[in-house]
A and B are shown apart, each in its own frame.
Chain A
Amino acid sequence: MAKHETPLLDELESGPWPSFVSDVKREAQFRKENPRNINFQIPADAPDDLLGVLELSYKHGRTHWKHGGIVGVFGYGGGVIGRYCDQPEMFPGVAHFHTMRVNQPGGKFYTTEYLRQLCDIWQMRGSGLTNMHGSTGDIILLGTQTDQLEEIFYELSHNMNQDLGGSGSNLRTPSDCVGQARCEYACYDTQALCFQLTQDYQDELHRPAFPYKFKFKFDGCPNCCVASIARSDMSFIGTWRDDIRIDQKAVAGYVGGEFKPNAGAHSGRDWGKFNIVAEVVDRCPTKCMRFEGGKLEINNKECTRCMHCINVMPRALRIGEDRGLSILVGAKAPIVDGAQMSSLLVPFLPVEEPYDELKAVIEAVWDWWMEEGKNRERLGELIKRQGFQKLLEATNIAPSPVHVKEPRSNPYIFWKAEEVEGGFDRDITEFRKHHLR
Chain B
Amino acid sequence: MDEAAAKKVIVETLQGKKGKSKFYLKDFYAMVPDGKPREVKNLVNKMVEEGILEYWSSGSTTLIGLKGVGKQAGAEHED
Contact = CB atoms under 8 A, between A and B. Distances in A.
Contacts of A352: none
B16 interface: no
Interface residues of A, number: 34
Contact of B26 (A80, A168, A211): A211
Contacts of B57: 68-70, 72, 77-78, 80-82, 167-168
B53 to A, nearest CB: 10
A84 B72 CA distance: 11
B72 A70 contact: yes
A138 to B, nearest CB: 13
B76 A370 contact: no
Contacts of B45: 77, 203, 207-208
Contact of A168 (B48, B59, B75): B59
A136 to B, nearest CB: 10
A72 B37 contact: no
Interface residues of B, number: 25
B64 interface: yes
Nearest to B67: A70
Contact of B38 (A77, A146, A367, A374): A367
A84 B62 CA distance: 17
A344 B18 CA distance: 45
Contacts of B24: 169, 211, 375-376
A373 B37 CA distance: 11
Nearest to B48: A77
A235 interface: no
Interface string A274-290: 00000000000000000
8 contacts: A77-B48, A84-B75, A169-B24, A208-B41, A208-B55, A208-B64, A374-B26, A375-B27
